[in-house]
Structure 1
Amino acid sequence: VWECPPSLLPLPGVCRLLSSVMSGTESHTDREEDYRFLHSMLMEKKLHLLFKIHERLKRFEKRSPIPVQEHAASLASDLAEELIYQGWRDEAKELVSLFSKPHFKSLLSVHDAVAQRDFEPTLPPVPDDVLEEDEDSVKIVSLVKTKEPLGATIKRDKATGAIVVARIMRGGAADKSGLIHEGDELKEVNGVSLENRKPKEILPLLACSQGDITFKIIPASPKEEMSSNKKKLFVRVLFDYDPNEDPSVPCKDAAVSFKRGDILRIVSTEDDTWWQACHYGNSNSRAGLIPSQQLHERWRVALQRPRALFRPRQVKRPGFSISFPAGLRRSFRLGRKSSWVREAARSRRWSAGVHGSFRPPTYIEVIPYHRDPKERHRLVVLAGPSGVGVNELKRRLLISDPDRYGVTVPYTTREKRRQENEGVDYHFVSVHMFEEAILNHRFIDYGRYKGHYYGTSLDSVHRVMAEGKVCLLDAHPSKIKHVYTSEFKPYVVFVKPPRIEELRLTRRRAKFICDEEDTNPVRIFSEEDFEDMIDSAETMEKEYGHLFDKVIVNGDIAVAFRELKADLESIEEAEVQWIPAEWICSSPTTARRSCGHLTGWI
């Protein structure tokens, strides 16, 4: 039988309760470990001290104490002055020092506030000019001003000319108070009438206010809260946004800035043009304005300018991959597009931009993913235009940690050469087997070169992942769709070239390794190669940017490699990873509701 400690004897009810709990658990011998844990927890000295404090407070409450002095702080100040004049003995010095301590002053201030029952706010009186019949339709709201904004936007009603609350920012002071709502008409601020005033004229009134801010409000008709607002909605943004550079934002102080790849929690999508959101993990729970997906798409269409069509050039070049001075093994490539193919792609992209047939998303709905240590690693896809250095980055990753990273072995139908090994350089298969795998959709990417098939199979990806390694896959963005599933959970890194001036500087020694049978197997970059690389990167980013988790600019290969390696390591070590909701859910949330245009921030 559990015996109540002496420290708990004054609380027989608690002792009886704990004794019954302990005796009830003794019968469960199959959970002896849990019983021991519960016993040790209940025998903790700190728990017993809490019981003692609880007992003392209960006794003190029954006595209903009355404060002896309601102005202890001023009394202590007067006493300190008297001690100074009465002599400067050690005891007096010690007492004066105690009175001057900030914590002691705060304690006396709290004592006086409780003694005077000054811990509840005093509501201001109803103004004299409010008629009795209007008292039910007018309310006076007093809010304590802090360093942060009150969290509301205002606008002028075009029909009546009144100043109304257009938006309550979630998590702000106005939202937390629950006293101000969207649609409320503001009549006065600190006794100053707002009649015939513009929103920009009201902001200085709030800025110069000290302490409490008092509003005279005509409440709007109550409206029901939509259940969709309660759903937690997270998105990954696909563009950079700085409200200080946006002339169309209703109020810069009310907006949220972000960088591509940031995770935002969408709090409200009621407004078709300006959503409310906050950064995930930010301690500041106050939401801010961000451009809606619809608004951003309108911007993109407005900024789109027709491009001049280029004349086709009838020049063909062999397939190649980039090589830096240190040298590298030639990777599998399907061959470089001829000039007329590139120009046709430019024409298609211009047409799509002008006519709006292609509109990639600006926000991707994502959900948190907690990877189990027993699960396979996520597939890492490296994408980028030919010549940007994707293969070199992949090679350096593999060399840096061969036990962690692995690469796929391509398939081919050509004959094995003497120096090549099956399953190391290529998987050599028959034309029949290759074409059967194509029909069964087993290839991520494939093509023909000089009469032979080459391709990357899903089976080769599974082999690397089955070894417990991070599979590094080099693929064109258009082929990512074959692995963009919950099975592989790909982390897509897009490698893009720097500006052409930096390309000329950093690639002046870089060379193409062409086909071995070509008369000129090694060729230096040309100006046309740089232009094609940049143009191809722009096309990829516009058409497939919504698939990219990370964008790395490869100006200096060593810097780009360090950035890539650090990013992949941080992803593996992160407690929470963010994956597209479409991998798990049927479709992302797209609910929107219309609202008025915002014009001010208070």
Structure 2
Amino acid sequence: MPVLTAGAGLHETLALLTSQLRPDANHQEDMVFLQNVFSEKSLGYLMKIHEKLRQYEKQSPAPVLHSAANLAEDVVEELQSGPMSSEEKELLHLLTSPHLKAVLSVHDTVAQKNFDPVLPPMPDDFEDELEEESVKIVRLVKNKEPLGATIRRDDATGSVIVARIMRGGAADRSGLVHVGDELREVNGVSIIHKKPDEISQLLSQSQGSITLKIIPAIKEEDRLRESKVYMRALFDYIPLEDKATPCQEAGLPFKRGDILQVVTQDDPTWWQAKRVGDSNLRAGLIPSKHFQERRSFRLSRKDRQGSSGEGSEAGDSDYLTYEEVSRYQQRGHERPRLVVLIGSLGARINELKQKVIAENPHRYAVAVPHTTRPKKPQEKEGVEYHFVAKQQFDADVLNNKFIEHGEYKENQYGTSIEAIRSVQAKNKMCLVDVQPERRKTPSCNNDDYADPSDEDLQEMRQSAIQIDHQYGHLVDRVLIKEDSASACSELRGILERLERETFWVPLGWVRT
């Protein structure tokens, strides 16, 4: 009689068992029945699938991506933004088909382990508590995540009201809890006389199945479709340090430069948003633009009142909050990009720029600046500079013909829009270096600018801090110059990516 090995699988066991079934005079019908069942092809296929799944489970696989559906949506947007080849049209058709979208949705659910456990039966005593169908019993599965809802105490009635539903959270996914609902009980515990902090703690400590007794709002809010509003954060935000937030656990921390998808702006004080690229599908609370600007203004005014009184009105940089942005990728028919290099005092960005241009003069070029200083014997008009009279220079400044200008040793220097366009007309990427006016210095591209002396070292550090504070929100990439060769290589890589990758740019930059 054949013997099974220790590593035999279900399919092998089933085949061996089937082969050993012999009709018996007393149990012939039973044996024939079992033999037919065990010989069924569908059962054999199920056994093979079971074995494959067990083998896969032993490998402890980890998902490569938690948000395949979102990635597919981004690809669809990119494909629809311009002309498509036949292959791209076929890809668009596949990505928008209902079956593939359903498969990607299932993939994300499994990848995030976002499946619900088996719920216990509803307690019998709840049936007696229903008040003429005006009370709703809601059972949610929360696992280790927050409930995804905030509450408030109604000033007039003292009732505990659902203030907001966080998009993507447990409450939002259920579709059973809405803004305006009155909360009566949590897991059978009355919360009528409890403080909001006690209720929030009760909700956060509940794991797995959580049962809510709710009086529905008179008019339930419609579940709105997520917006496609994207914002670049221009400040750092830490919810745990914000005493004004209605729920610190529901807050979304972010840093300056992060791209946020604002999914709802229904609340004028607290928006709901997600970080782009974050695998967490649940939205979090962030201060609205108006609310954050008001707070920044009050803090700035308090700082000025507490100072010696020498300060003036705060600049716009004190109130920077969010900037609406959109994806942008350079297309073949568009002009080459303008790249502005900015550095602190003594950073020698002009030297770095000239090295990159010298390595590839057919691809990069510099806009010839204007100046009012006298031409030196070895210089040529339109090569080192465009030499103009001071009267003409001042008139061009008034007519907004310069993107930047400054004064150095009583001479004017500036970069004109026309000079930039002349570089782009040659199908070259225009590189411009500017220096914020800490000391009056030129934006020139030759040896008029001298190296800083030893006593300028402290000023160089202060210059870097001030540039980051005033202009850091405008910077797309930061290059730390350790040595000339590595800095030059890194800058080349940045310039090459500008031509082929997608970037987030201010919404006003994108032509409609």
CA contact (8 A) 1:276 1:289 kept: yes
Instruction: Summarize deviations over 1:388-425 as a string: whole Å, max 9, x none.
Output: 44334434443554443321211234443232233332
- Once residues 158 and 52 of structure 2 are traced to their aligned partners in structure 1, the CA distance between those partners, rounded to angstroms, is 48
Output the amino acid matched with 1:457. Answer: S
CA contact (8 A) 1:369 1:578 kept: yes
State the partner residue of 2:383.
424
CA contact (8 A) 1:157 1:163 kept: yes
State the partner residue of 1:351.
312
State the partner residue of 2:290.
294
CA contact (8 A) 2:185 2:212 kept: yes
State the partner residue of 1:578.
504
- Once residues 382 and 259 of structure 2 are traced to their aligned partners in structure 1, the CA distance between those partners, rounded to angstroms, is 41
Task: Report the Cα offset of residue 308 of structure 1.
Answer: 5.7
CA contact (8 A) 2:403 2:416 kept: yes
State the partner residue of 2:421.
462
**Matched residue of 2:129: which SS?**
coil
Output the amino acid matched with 2:132. Answer: E
**Matched residue of 1:174: which SS?**
helix
CA contact (8 A) 2:178 2:220 kept: no
Task: Report the Cα offset of residue 562 of structure 1.
Answer: 6.0
**Matched residue of 1:137: which SS?**
coil
- Once residues 99 and 243 of structure 1 are traced to their aligned partners in structure 2, the CA distance between those partners, rounded to angstroms, is 58
Equivalent in 238, 243, 261 of residue 239 of structure 2: 243
- Once residues 106 and 215 of structure 1 are traced to their aligned partners in structure 2, the CA distance between those partners, rounded to angstroms, is 41
- Once residues 506 and 462 of structure 2 are traced to their aligned partners in structure 1, the CA distance between those partners, rounded to angstroms, is 28
State the partner residue of 1:169.
166
Task: Report the Cα offset of residue 162 of structure 1.
Answer: 3.1
**Matched residue of 2:50: which SS?**
helix
- Once residues 7 and 464 of structure 2 are traced to their aligned partners in structure 1, the CA distance between those partners, rounded to angstroms, is 76
State the partner residue of 2:184.
187
**Matched residue of 2:324: which SS?**
strand
Q: 1:553 to 1:302 in 2, by over 3 A?
A: farther
Q: 1:102 to 1:207 in 2, by over 3 A?
A: farther
Output the amino acid matched with 1:176. Answer: R
Q: Which stretch shifts more, 432-441 or 212-221?
A: 432-441
CA contact (8 A) 2:262 2:271 kept: yes
**Matched residue of 2:345: which SS?**
coil
Output the amino acid matched with 1:282. Answer: D
Q: 1:430 to 1:571 in 2, by over 3 A?
A: same
CA contact (8 A) 1:255 1:288 kept: yes
State the partner residue of 1:377.
336
**Matched residue of 2:198: which SS?**
helix
- Once residues 275 and 98 of structure 1 are traced to their aligned partners in structure 2, the CA distance between those partners, rounded to angstroms, is 58
Q: 1:120 to 1:514 in 2, by over 3 A?
A: closer
- Once residues 577 and 571 of structure 1 are traced to their aligned partners in structure 2, the CA distance between those partners, rounded to angstroms, is 8
Show the 5 A alignment for 1:327-338.
none
Instruction: Summarize deviations over 1:332-363 as a string: whole Å, max 9, x none.
Output: xxxxxxxxxxxxxxx5xx3113xx88754210
State the partner residue of 2:453.
524
Instruction: Summarize deviations over 1:264-317 as a string: whole Å, max 9, x none.
Output: 11112233332110012434332111122234334434544248669xxxxxxx
State the partner residue of 1:335.
none
- Residue correspondences, number: 407
Q: 1:226 to 1:542 in 2, by over 3 A?
A: farther
Q: Which runs of 5+ in 1 are unaligned?
A: 1-86, 108-118, 311-346, 479-512, 587-602
- Once residues 403 and 585 of structure 1 are traced to their aligned partners in structure 2, the CA distance between those partners, rounded to angstroms, is 28
Show the 5 A alignment for 1:52-451.
89-90=3-4, 94=8, 104=50, 127-130=126-129, 134-203=131-200, 205-206=202-203, 209=206, 211-222=208-219, 231-304=227-300, 305-306=303-304, 350-353=311-314, 359-399=318-358, 401-429=360-388, 434=393, 437-438=396-397, 440-446=399-405
Q: What's the Cα RMSD here? A: 4.3
CA contact (8 A) 1:154 1:167 kept: yes
Task: Report the Cα offset of residue 461 of structure 1.
Answer: 0.7
Output the amino acid matched with 1:577. Answer: F
Task: Report the Cα offset of residue 240 of structure 1.
Answer: 2.3
State the partner residue of 1:344.
none
- Once residues 200 and 367 of structure 1 are traced to their aligned partners in structure 2, the CA distance between those partners, rounded to angstroms, is 39
CA contact (8 A) 1:174 1:180 kept: yes
- Once residues 220 and 435 of structure 1 are traced to their aligned partners in structure 2, the CA distance between those partners, rounded to angstroms, is 66
Output the amino acid matched with 1:153. Answer: T
Q: 1:392 to 1:272 in 2, by over 3 A?
A: farther
Q: 1:423 to 1:247 in 2, by over 3 A?
A: same
CA contact (8 A) 2:296 2:318 kept: no
Q: Which stretch shifts more, 147-156 or 286-295?
A: 147-156
Q: TM-score, normalised by structure 2?
A: 0.66
Q: 1:523 to 1:285 in 2, by over 3 A?
A: closer
CA contact (8 A) 1:352 1:358 kept: no
Q: Which stretch shifts more, 458-467 or 205-214?
A: 205-214
CA contact (8 A) 1:360 1:543 kept: no
State the partner residue of 1:473.
432
Q: TM-score, normalised by structure 1?
A: 0.57
- Once residues 136 and 443 of structure 1 are traced to their aligned partners in structure 2, the CA distance between those partners, rounded to angstroms, is 71
Task: Report the Cα offset of residue 139 of structure 1.
Answer: 0.6
**Matched residue of 2:313: which SS?**
helix
CA contact (8 A) 1:156 1:163 kept: yes
* Greater length-normalized contact order (CA 8 Å, ≥ 6 residues apart): 1
State the partner residue of 1:15.
none
**Matched residue of 1:213: which SS?**
strand
Output the amino acid matched with 2:237. Answer: Y
Q: 1:548 to 1:104 in 2, by over 3 A?
A: closer
State the partner residue of 1:56.
none
The structure with the larger Rg is 1
Task: Report the Cα offset of residue 385 of structure 1.
Answer: 4.2
